[in-house]
Amino acid sequence: MRLLSHIACLSLALSLNEAGKGHEHHHGAALDRCKGMEMDAIALNEHGVPYFFKGDHLFKGFHGKVELANASFAELDEHHHLGHVDAAFRMHIPDAPEHHDHIFFFLDTKVFSYYNHTLEPGYPKDIQDVFPGIPDHLDAAVECPEEDCKSNLVIFFKGDDIYHFDVKTKKVDEKVFKGMPNCTSAFRWLGHYYCFHGHDFSKFDPMTGEVHGRYPKDARKYFMRCSNGEYTTELFKNHVEREKCSRVHLDAITSDDGGNVYAFRGHHFLRVEGEKMHADTIESAFKELHSEVDTVFSYNGHFYMIKDDKVFVYKIGEPHTHLEGYPKPLKEVLGIEGPVDAAFICKDHHIVHIIKGKTLYKVDMQANPRVPSKEIPFTRFKYVDDVMCGSDGVRVVVGGHLYHFESIMAMETAKHDPEPKSVPQELFGCDH
Ligand SMILES: *[C@@H]1O[C@H](CO)[C@@H](O)[C@H](O)[C@H]1NC(C)=O
Ligand SMILES: *[C@@H]1O[C@H](CO)[C@@H](O)[C@H](O)[C@H]1NC(C)=O
Ligand SMILES: *[C@@H]1O[C@H](CO)[C@@H](O)[C@H](O)[C@H]1NC(C)=O
């Protein structure tokens, strides 16, 4: 990774110059990305969480503390003792299963391929053997899938040389990206392409290298949550826009005592506070859970998050801390075998309603042990994605449809389904 010779990061007392490459290590305790930092490499992991590499350290997600990179990727250290990664990217090509979701690291002349934090057999290899035509000692790399680049490409950066590498044909196209700074790391996030240089970044067109709009911008304001700042940056607006109008079914939905709504979908969640909306990865806020929760309900200042046959319990409020001793088996916590479809508690009550297939169970959270006290048939819907209950009634989410009932009693006894509403419009204020 090219390090700009004029950057002196006094707080770290590091000498970040070309000659100093690889020598600025073991100051992890002092590494604070909020003071401004030029990253060596950025890549998503297989859960879509961004990893920022700096020296022999690693930042996972947009906030949180630094870790030693070798704790997650041991061999990077063993093989080279270089203490830094030149470039990294995550291959995301479902029709290339041997590489799909692998993270590739570039160190000097070598390339490492990791899956699930495990080095693939035969790696490290020479860059030439895996990416013929691509030079050693790279500065940055980023994947560009078919949907953005017409074919599945990896874009490599070295100085101002740009290479489009076609994953399938292995053809290399040298490009000239006029008007773009030399990137020290590059990153695809939510369908956009970012070149990082110094403390700043620029958004670019992966085909032409054109930079539109007012760049560079300070990476700390967009890619790192440094103050208790809001994610009201352009980046998260894009994300929020995409999530709030998405028609992909929700996994889970709940609201907290303050009336804020939390919606979970795949690897992401949205928090809706009145007019304000935040989006983030589940992995970064609910690390232990990773992704793809089945249902979530709130009780007594905590989220109960059910995934398969396990229950994760997080304190509501930033950061969401995971309660010790969890996850626990669902059977132990609520007396029911997983998986379940939906679980919800109405405000000021302590009865959790659990829908599993065609049965609705009621479990008293104050009982000990907790076991279903009542089982009633639930046949109104063929299936439900999740159910949320608030002071103004019960909302049932079935695919893109939302059904509103005045109360649980009304849901159980209503003769007809209420008129379905659109999930994105009703819950997230999507206007189309
Ligand atoms: C990681 O590196 C640190 C120092 O850089 C070393 O003390 C530690 O033993 C290494 N851990 C592993 C798992 O290799
Ligand atoms: C990932 O690695 C962990 C331990 O390193 C293992 O338990 C798990 O089964 C692996 N998952 C996959 C999908 O290979
Ligand atoms: C970008 O890289 C080229 C070498 O490829 C170098 O000549 C040029 O000075 C670099 N520009 C900046 C602004 O560092």
Last residue of a domain, one of 164, 199, 232: 232
Ligand 1 atom at shortest distance from the alpha carbon of 71: 13
**Domain contains 7:** no
**Domain contains 182:** yes
Residues 198 and 270 in one domain: no
Expressed in angstroms and rounded, the spacing between residue 164 Cα and the centre of ligand 3 is: 19
Expressed in angstroms and rounded, the spacing between residue 244 Cα and the centre of ligand 3 is: 41
Residues 189 and 290 in one domain: no
- pLDDT of the residue at 243: 75
- pLDDT of the residue at 81: 62
- pLDDT of the residue at 76: 83
- CA–CA separation, 282 vs 129, rounded Å? 36
**Domain contains 41:** yes
**Domain contains 145:** yes
- pLDDT of the residue at 380: 87
- pLDDT of the residue at 248: 80
Residues 267 and 326 in one domain: yes
For residue 115, which ligand has an atom nearest its CA?
A: 2
pLDDT tens by residue, the chain, 432 residues:
433 333 322 222 222 232 333 334 444 446 777 777 889 999 988 877 889 999 889 998 877 788 888 889 988 877 656 678 999 999 987 777 788 889 999 999 999 999 988 999 999 999 999 999 999 999 999 999 998 999 999 999 999 999 999 999 999 999 999 888 999 999 998 778 999 998 899 999 999 999 988 888 888 777 776 654 444 444 556 667 777 777 788 899 998 877 788 999 888 898 887 667 788 888 888 989 988 899 999 998 899 999 999 999 999 887 888 999 999 999 999 999 989 999 999 876 899 999 999 999 999 999 989 999 889 998 889 889 999 998 778 999 998 889 999 988 888 888 888 889 888 888 887 776
Residues 123 and 225 in one domain: yes
Domain that holds residue 399: 247-428
Residues 88 and 223 in one domain: yes
Last residue of a domain, one of 232, 264, 285: 232
Pairing of strands 295-299, 302-307: antiparallel
Residues 258 and 384 in one domain: yes
- pLDDT of the residue at 5: 32
Ligand 1 atom at shortest distance from the alpha carbon of 26: 5
The amino acid at residue 330 is L
Expressed in angstroms and rounded, the spacing between residue 24 Cα and the centre of ligand 1 is: 15
Expressed in angstroms and rounded, the spacing between residue 360 Cα and the centre of ligand 3 is: 65
Residues 162 and 123 in one domain: yes
CATH number of the domain where residue 404 is located: 2.110.10.10
Residues 222 and 304 in one domain: no
Which residue's alpha carbon is at the smallest distance from atom 4 of ligand 3? 159
**Domain contains 20:** no
Residues 330 and 405 in one domain: yes
Residues 295 and 383 in one domain: yes
Residues 178 and 129 in one domain: yes
- pLDDT of the residue at 46: 80
- pLDDT of the residue at 26: 45
- pLDDT of the residue at 331: 95
**Domain contains 119:** yes
**Domain contains 242:** no
Last residue of a domain, one of 208, 232, 256: 232
- pLDDT of the residue at 18: 29
Number of domains the chain is built from:
2
Ligand 3 atom at shortest distance from the alpha carbon of 4: 14
Residues 166 and 311 in one domain: no
Query: Which residue do the tokens 């920022």 mark?
Result: 52
pTM tops 0.85: no
Name residues contacting ligand 3 (CB within 6 A).
Answer: 159-161, 182
Ligand 1 atom at shortest distance from the alpha carbon of 74: 14
**Domain contains 202:** yes
